Structure 1
Amino acid sequence: MDGAVLVGRSLIAALFLGGAVQKGLDPDPAMSLLTDRGLPGVLVWPALVFNALAGLALLAGWAVRPVALTLAGYCAVTSMFHLIPDDPWQMSIFVKNWAIAGGCLVLAAHGPGRYVLGRPNSGAV
């Protein structure tokens, strides 16, 4: 089962790492989502940093419980940017965000499994 946890944790990490790269290479779509809802577009940069650090922490297996719990909340909040009932594509993203939040909650409840890089004293076990 620890192998399945590693694969699941890595897949979730890949999503957030990919999101960080996407925001860095082409920030305009994310900035538009923010500004369309009256938020400053510059919030894309702290989101990029959060996505990158959280993704790396999950991948390494460091502080998985608190990171995954925070990511679940992040997914719940960011899902609201995609709550556009007339747009099936945006509604698909909305539902996927909640599914990712669910996966993060499972990680938060069960931890990183046996396979982690080192054993930092940061809630990894």
Structure 2
Amino acid sequence: MADAANLAGRVLLALLFLGGAAQKWADPAPVMQMIGGLGLPETLIWPVAAFNLIAGLCLILGPKVRVWAIILALYCIGTSWFHWQLRADPWQVTIVVKNWAIAGGLLVLAAQGPGRLTIWR
């Protein structure tokens, strides 16, 4: 049961990153605008989309699930900065808190490991 729950949790976490990759590929303009608005090159969207795709797949399949979980936890905390728009859009703060909660789940995954249901260790 624990291994099945671990796999289900990894898949659900991975869907967030896989969906983010798909969204960036399908409609890059909003993210490019957000990135550009921060003074960063808009072309950063493509390596970020690729990172989301690779990281999501690695959470599900392996390898190095613990390492990917830590990297993604840091990514979630780091990208919270993009959503800290308290005065412009208070609802964005909810995304910050969700990112932190996802980071917490990823840290639990890093501590517990992937269980027995992975393709690569």
TM class by shorter chain equals: over 0.9
| 2:81 is aligned with 1:88 | no
Corresponding position of 2:110: 108
* 1:61 and 1:115 in contact (8 A); partners too: no
Unaligned runs of 5+ in 1: none
Q: Which amino acid aligns with 1:15?
A: L
For each residue in 1:69-88, what CA deviation from the matched residue of structure 2 results, as whole angstroms up to 9, or x when unmatched? 10011111101000011223
Equivalent residue runs for 1:35-46 within 5 Å: 35-46=36-47
Q: Secondary structure at the match of 1:72?
A: helix
Offset of 1:11 from its aligned partner? 0.3
Determine what percentage of the aligned residue pairs are the same residue.
55
Offset of 1:66 from its aligned partner? 0.6
Q: Secondary structure at the match of 1:81?
A: helix
| 2:16 is aligned with 1:15 | yes
Corresponding position of 1:61: 62
| 2:89 is aligned with 1:99 | no
Unaligned runs of 5+ in 2: none
Corresponding position of 2:50: 49
- Residues 33-42 or 16-25, more deviating: 33-42
Residue-pair matches, total: 119
Q: Secondary structure at the match of 1:57?
A: helix
Offset of 1:2 from its aligned partner? 1.3
Offset of 1:92 from its aligned partner? 1.0
TM-score by length of 2: 0.94
Distance 2:18 2:39 in 1: 26
Q: Secondary structure at the match of 1:18?
A: helix
Offset of 1:14 from its aligned partner? 0.5
| 2:16 is aligned with 1:33 | no
For each residue in 1:9-38, what CA deviation from the matched residue of structure 2 results, as whole angstroms up to 9, or x when unmatched? 000001000000000000111111111111
Superposed CA RMSD: 1.0
